[in-house]
Amino acid sequence: MMLPSSASSSSSSPAGGNSFFTGFTRLCKGLAVILVGGYVLLQVFPSAVTYVALIPARTIPFAWNLITAGYVEQSLPGVVISTIGLLLFGKLLEPLWGSKEFLKFIIVVNFLTSICIFVTAIILYYITRQESYLYTPLSGFHGVLSGFLVGIKQIIPDQELSLFFLLKIKAKWVPTIVALVSVAISFFTTESVSYLPTILFGIYMSWIYLRYFQKKPETGLKGDPSDEFSFSSFFPEFLRPILDPFASVFDWALCGKSETYSEMRGHTLGGTPLPGSGPIEASRRRERGARALEERLAAEKVAVTGSTDVISHGNAAENV
């Protein structure tokens, strides 16, 4: 579990732990109910997995599984991690993006991730001729969870996060670390096909959406063309000169003819400044993210202090 490093002191007490797991949004609670409900459905009706999970060989007649697969967990650890991750990440991202944009992000990333997994499974089948790529039920919310990490990288890249209460790393490196760890684990397990493509495509699809297509209501512009959120920013500095030429091809292919994106890129390259565009908007977004995080931590600290005062006053009254 990842926590902001400044929250570690408050989360160490019982009151702090309780306050950390409160204040979830109504949308996140509703989505959590869907995740839990999907898991319960599969436990009561196991045959339902053939209709709601992504089975590439059955996707053509059952095309809706491209949508439903992302909201169905097949294991208890999966539904627990997905539910907790949704509630905690949503607590930070939804107030900044807005409920409508937050839900749109989940729907788009889930759908695009499912399409990529479907295409990859078909390609792997034709290469290897292994039917397991066609008939293995694939599902899970971990693609969107990986996408949330990209959103946090965009908003608070330099915020230190506590990983499992032990390691402190900057938020901008979390998606990369998750991807590397997932790839490393895949060499030691035969079930990597059930999670690795979802995590990798979830990270990549969420970056594409946030980089090129997410609309900013305050400016009317789309995407985030700042250098701090470029594709090469996911990799160490020494690799960026190699990756930048390839990334420029994606820039041209996805938004090379987009007037809005071209204007925003023009600003970053020294063109005429646009209100709310380019690095200025990216800086404002990071400031809003950091401010929202500080306000949430301050509120939790106040809650912890208030609870401590109540307990201390109660003890004093008993002593009297």
Decide if 320 is inside a domain: no
CB 200 within 8 A of CB 179: yes
Reduce the DSSP state of residue 107 to 3 states and report it.
Answer: helix
Q: What is the pLDDT of residue 82?
A: 94
User: Which residue range(s) make up the domain with 23?
Assistant: 2-231+279-306
Reduce the DSSP state of residue 320 to 3 states and report it.
Answer: coil
Decide if 213 is inside a domain: yes
Decide if 319 is inside a domain: no
Number of domains in the chain: 1
| Beta-sheet strand order (sheet of 160-163) | 2-4, 160-163, 167-170
Residue-wise pLDDT tens for the chain (320 aa)? 555 554 444 443 344 445 555 678 899 999 999 999 999 999 999 999 999 999 999 988 889 999 999 999 999 999 999 999 999 999 989 998 999 999 999 999 999 999 999 999 999 999 999 998 899 999 999 999 999 999 999 998 888 876 655 678 888 899 999 999 999 998 888 777 788 999 999 999 999 999 888 887 666 678 888 888 888 888 888 888 888 777 777 666 665 444 444 455 444 444 444 344 455 555 555 566 556 556 655 655 555 455 445 444 445 444 44
CA 158, CA 161: separation in Å to the nearest integer?
A: 9
CATH label of the domain that carries residue 201: 1.20.1540.10
Token duo for residue 156:
């608070």
Phi, psi (degrees; rounded to nearest 5) at 4: -60, 140
Decide if 108 is inside a domain: yes
> Of the candidates 84, 150, 91, 81, which has an alpha carbon nearest to the alpha carbon of residue 300?
91
Decide if 252 is inside a domain: no
Decide if 65 is inside a domain: yes
CA 120, CA 229: separation in Å to the nearest integer?
A: 26
Over its C-alpha atoms, the chain yields an Rg (Å, rounded) of 22
Buried b (16+ CB within 10 A) or exposed e, 82-94: bbebbbbbbbbbb
Residue with tokens 């201390």: 312
Q: What is the pLDDT of residue 65?
A: 93
Decide if 22 is inside a domain: yes
Decide if 312 is inside a domain: no
CA 157, CA 227: separation in Å to the nearest integer?
A: 12
Q: What is the pLDDT of residue 218?
A: 66
Q: What is the pLDDT of residue 238?
A: 83
Q: What is the pLDDT of residue 267?
A: 47
CA 93, CA 230: separation in Å to the nearest integer?
A: 20
